[in-house]
Amino acid sequence: MGRHKRMTMEHDLKFIDPHVHMTSRTTDDYEAMAAAGVVAVIEPSFWLGQPRTQVGSFQDYFSSLVGWEPFRASQFGIKHYCTIGLNSKEANNEPLAEAVMELLPLYLHKENVVGIGEIGYDDQTPAEDKYFRAQLELARELGMTVQVHTPHRDKKAGTIRSMEVCLEHGLDPSHVIIDHNNEETVQEVLDRGFWAAFTIYPKTKMGNERMVEVVRRFGSERIIVDSSADWGVSDPMAVPKTASLMLRRGIDRVHVERTCYSNALEAYSMNSSMKEADWEQAGGIDQRKLFNDNSVLRGQQPRVDTDQIS
C-alpha cells in the first residue's frame, strides 16, 4: 500500500471527494482512497504553487485534467471528473488571463467536465473581480455549475461578496457550490440557497472534529465535505476519515451519506453528464490498458478483474 495505511472499514459507505487536486497526488493515494470507499473525485483547476507564465502551460494542464488524470484514476477503480477555470491568483496577470479566457470554451464541453471552477477571489483585487465575473457570465450562458473559491483572508466578507456577485449575474444559487466554508460563513451560505462545501485539512483551517460539529449544528442539507488535497500538507483520505469520525460521534448515517456522497452527486450532476451509473456500472479494473502508450505500472503485474477478461 505504500505510505498509506488501509482504513479499517467499519461501514459500507461510498464516498465522493468533490474537491481534490489529484494531479499533485500519487498512485498510492488513489489506491488508498479506493480501498476506503471513494468511488469518484472532482478535480478543480487550481494554482500550481508558482505562477504559470504562458497560455500553453494552461492548455497542457487542462488537457491532463480531461485526459491522463481520468485514465490514471480509472486504473484504481475511481471515476474522475474536473472543473475548468482560471483560478483567482492567476487572474491578476491580465494579459495571460485574457488568453486563458479564450482557451476555456475548448475544454468546458469535454466529457468529464462538470462545471466552471474553482473561481472567485484571493486578495479581492479588481482583476480578480473582472475575471470572476467573466467566468460567471460564461457559466450562465452555457448553463454550467460553478465552483467558487472563497478567500482565505477576510473570509466572511469575501464569501458574502462572492455570493452577491453570483446573484448579480443571474446564477441560480442551487447551481453554485461555495467552497472553503467555516463556522462563520455556513449559515449565510445556506440562507441564500447556495451549496456549502468544507475543505478538511489535517492541521489547519477546517478540521474533521470541527466538521462533525458543523453537521451536528446545521444538519446535512446542502452541506458537502471535501479534502482539497494538493501539493501542500493535506490529506486525500479526509472525506472517509471525516465520515468515520461522524459515525463514531453519533451523527446519523443518513447525514454522513448526504455530506460525503449524495449531496456532491446532486450538486455536480445537475448541469453535467455525471451520474451514479458512471461508477456503479463501470465494470472491473483492467490495468493492461494504456494512455498514449503509457501505463501507471512500472513492470508490475497488472490487475485484471475477471469481468474484464475476454
250 domain-assigned:
yes
d(CA 142, CA 300): 44
7 domain-assigned:
no
**What pLDDT is attached to residue 301?**
92
294 domain-assigned:
no
Q: What is the pLDDT of residues 95-114, one digit of tens each?
A: 999 999 999 999 999 999 99
124 domain-assigned:
yes
242 domain-assigned:
yes
Q: How many domains does the chain have?
A: 1
**What pLDDT is attached to residue 286?**
92
- Plot region of 307 (φ>0 → left; ψ -120 to 50 → alpha; else → beta): alpha
295 domain-assigned:
no
**What pLDDT is attached to residue 8?**
52
297 domain-assigned:
no
Say which CATH number the domain at 27 has.
Answer: 3.20.20.140
**What pLDDT is attached to residue 1?**
38
With contact defined as beta carbons under 8 Å apart, do 236 and 229 qualify?
yes
Q: What is the pLDDT of residues 37-92, one digit of tens each?
A: 999 999 999 998 899 999 999 999 999 999 999 999 999 999 999 999 999 999 99
**What pLDDT is attached to residue 202?**
80
Ranges of the chain with pLDDT below 70: 1-10, 204-205, 307-310
299 domain-assigned:
no
**What pLDDT is attached to residue 309?**
62
Where in the sequence is the domain holding 231, given as residue range(s)?
15-281
**If we measure between CA atoms, which residue out of 225, 206, 257 comes closest to residue 19?**
225
With contact defined as beta carbons under 8 Å apart, do 240 and 259 qualify?
no
